[in-house]
Amino acid sequence: MDIDALLDTFCDSLWLEDGLARSTLEGYRSDLLKFADWLEAQQHKALLDTTHGDIQAYLSFLVQQQVRASSSGRNLSSLKRLFRYLLRENQIAVDPTLQIAMPKLPRNLPKTLTEHDVERLLNAPDVQSSLGLRDRTMLEVLYATGLRVSELVNLSTRQVSIAQGVVQVMGKGNKERLVPLGEEALDWLKRYAEQGRGVLLAGRISDALFVTARGEAMTRQMFWYLIKKHARHGGITQTLSPHTLRHAFATHLLNHGADLRVVQLLLGHTDIATTQIYTHVARERLKKLHQTHHPRG
């Protein structure tokens, strides 16, 4: 089997097992093709002949190329996944990635906003216009639920129950979760449904909850542009990321005493270790409060 056919079969299995997004599968393929090219050029071997020493030599090569630890870790993760698959399919006898540890990565704290900054961002859209009403509603829902931006823009009208006050989200790996909306977000959703969405659709039919002036579904890139625009109008100078409101959602919940497991469920994290990073953010805020207000701070 040539390398392209092998990787096609591998990526198909990943998609069937985990429902991974196309971009994730393309990332696996890219990492593995780079390794296969290096292996052939430097070690004169085919992928199925990879040894433990080859993996170590490749990781050393990445270090020499000054590849970031996060990228090296991603490459090793791709290799581990591939060789576990090949072992399971009886295409190799030994997994060459065994006993090779993932590189330790520095844990960068997610950038978030203060509650005051969130208020300024939410108040930035002009809600007298249909577009502004849509933007305010999207920001309110994003902050109220902690959805990923991709999850927000892909919402259909069927996924939101105003009567029950919940949104049904299809997250990574096609994992479904129910997230409460809260009274404020619900009020804006009702207002958008009554005064904004129909005006934007102008008689056109769409299943998308949030639509553009052309009556089409909102895209992730377009909404990211809108977030930055409203942040400027709200006087927020901090650099934002598409997940800023998601980070704020989690951090503010923990600041107000929410249980970590509950936050994990709401965010749709499979591993609670992913959620625990927000406890560090909350802890940093407590340190600053202590330094500001304590007489010996």
Known catalytic residues are 148, 172, 243, 246, 269, 278
Residues paired with residue 161 on neighbouring β-strands, in sequence order? 166
Distance from chain centroid for Cα 143: 15
Long-range contacts at 161-167 (CB < 8 A, ≥ 24 apart)? 162/186, 162/189, 162/190, 162/193, 167/141
Calpha distance 209→155 (Å, rounded): 6
Q: Roughly what angle, to the nearest 10 degrees, separates helices 3-18 and 22-38?
A: 150
Angle, CA 152 vertex, CA 137 and CA 115 arms, to 5° = 55
Give the Å distances, CA to CA, from 4 to 1, 30, 55: 8, 11, 20
Calpha distance 291→279 (Å, rounded): 18
Question: Which two three-digit tokens encode residue 150?
Answer: 């991709």
